[in-house]
Amino acid sequence: MIPSAMTTGGWGAWRGRVGCSSWRQGRPALLGLLLLAARLAGAQADEAEPPRPAEPVLVWGFEASGTYGSSDPGYFNDFDYGHEYGWNGYRLGVLAGQVQIRFAPRTALLAEVRSANLEAPWVHALFVRSRPFARVPLDVQLGRMPSVFGAYPRRRYMADNPLIGQPLVYQYLTSLRPDAMPASADGFRAMRGAGWRPFYVVGSRETRTGLPMANAFLRDTGIGLRIGDGPVELALALTQGSLGSPRVSDDNSGKQLVGRLRWRPSFGLVLGASAAHGEYLDAALEPALPEAARAASYSQTALGLDVEYGMGRWLWRAEAVFSRWDVPAISAPVPESPLRTWAAFAEVRCRLGPGLYAAGRADHVSFAEITGRDGPFTWDAPIDRMEVALGFAPWRRVLVKAAYQYNWRDGGRVHEKGLVGAQVSVWY
């Protein structure tokens, strides 16, 4: 069984995809990763430390979740889970297996394999975690690891989400793609609300989803540090991709720097602030750009705030994220760069009795205006969401949910849609 201490920001927070080709590309990195961990382990062996309980060498766990609900013709709940057409959160089955192998004191290899809707499994996470010094609260992670931005990605994937839907800031697909661009601002007008499958004339013609503001379902690859075990904790990471486009292999020779500062000023209260900056545009798009636009760097910059407060039967959570993407100028009318957007959600959960709770969440995403031939318009369709749910745990490690969700959007093929769904999650 996976210890509870490993679930927060650990097992449930790892989401990503490594296909067969990515796995072959990642083998040298894995060997280097293991060599580095071995050197850290050797340094630890010479350091005297007080006796401590022996840690298990092997720990394993699994999670299975099935969700079925109303059809979603507006693709409000689609998200990028490494699938070319995306997945819909209201009709989704997930199987996950996790393992932790401790091969030196305070050093372990952690891995997770997932399968969605019974399709081919993929490596969801693979990284080494080490605490080099026994008396220093410093943890090092290397590999495809959990995100350090924001609070929501640190929850368990299904069991710690009191509703069925995901917060829009971490799930909703915008019409912006990293490998294709509209020739002018008017191209964004045509794709408002079509982030589930946007198509542009410059760059790749392949089917691909747009980018979310922050991707909570895929994991980035790099090195991360976490400093502090007390009321204040700082997490930093240097990764291959960007906040909305995590990656295993580099596609633009750029890197992302991301961090989060967490503060617990009193019992039950957690405050957090996050920031990220990294290049997101695929280098394969460069030959299709005008020569004057090829030398520039195109990055995503994001700032986030989060708060959590628990008291008695109640738990409140909220997050707000501001993001901006630099975009190339191709032809007139040129879209204003950077493209700006902000999103926020507020969530409440109330325990009604043994194993029974009620929960609700309100979401909003806004997009800035750009100017086309027919005047100003928001570069994507603003969207609002309300969702309520009842959850019941009939047995330990079994959770059943029923939810109702309603979406409003100023654009897209469907402007409004209500959804009803049920979900069963089992974990060990």
Using alpha carbons, select from 282, 205, 269 the residue that is nearest to residue 242: 282
Structural domains in the chain (count): 1
For the four alpha carbons of 118, 399, 397 and 55, in that order, the dihedral sign comes to positive
- The structure's pTM equals 0.84
The pLDDT of residue 40 is: 45
The pLDDT of residue 54 is: 58
The pLDDT of residue 3 is: 40
Cβ contacts of 90 within 8 Å, gap of 6 or more? 67, 68, 69, 70, 72, 77, 164, 165, 405, 419, 421
Domain that holds residue 398: 4-427
pLDDT tens per residue across span 347-406? 999 999 999 999 999 999 999 999 999 999 999 999 999 999 999 999 999 999 999 999
Cβ atoms of 274 and 260 closer than 8 Å: yes
The residue ranges of the chain whose pLDDT is under 50 are 1-31, 33-38, 40-49
CATH number for the domain that contains residue 96 = 2.40.160.10
Using alpha carbons, select from 268, 269, 266, 238 the residue that is nearest to residue 254: 238
Alpha carbon distance, N-terminus to C-terminus of the chain = 5
- Which segments of 131-268 are extended strands (E)? 138-145, 180-181, 202-203, 220-227, 232-239, 256-266
pLDDT tens per residue across span 37-60? 445 444 444 444 455 555 679 999
The pLDDT of residue 157 is: 67
Which residue's entry shows tokens 């979406």? 407
In the three-class reduction of DSSP (H, G, I as helix; E, B as strand; rest coil), residue 169 is classed as: helix
The pLDDT of residue 130 is: 96
What's the alpha-carbon Rg for the chain, to the nearest Å?
Answer: 22
Determine the distance from the C-alpha atom of residue 42 to the mean position of all C-alpha atoms in its chain, rounded to a whole number.
34
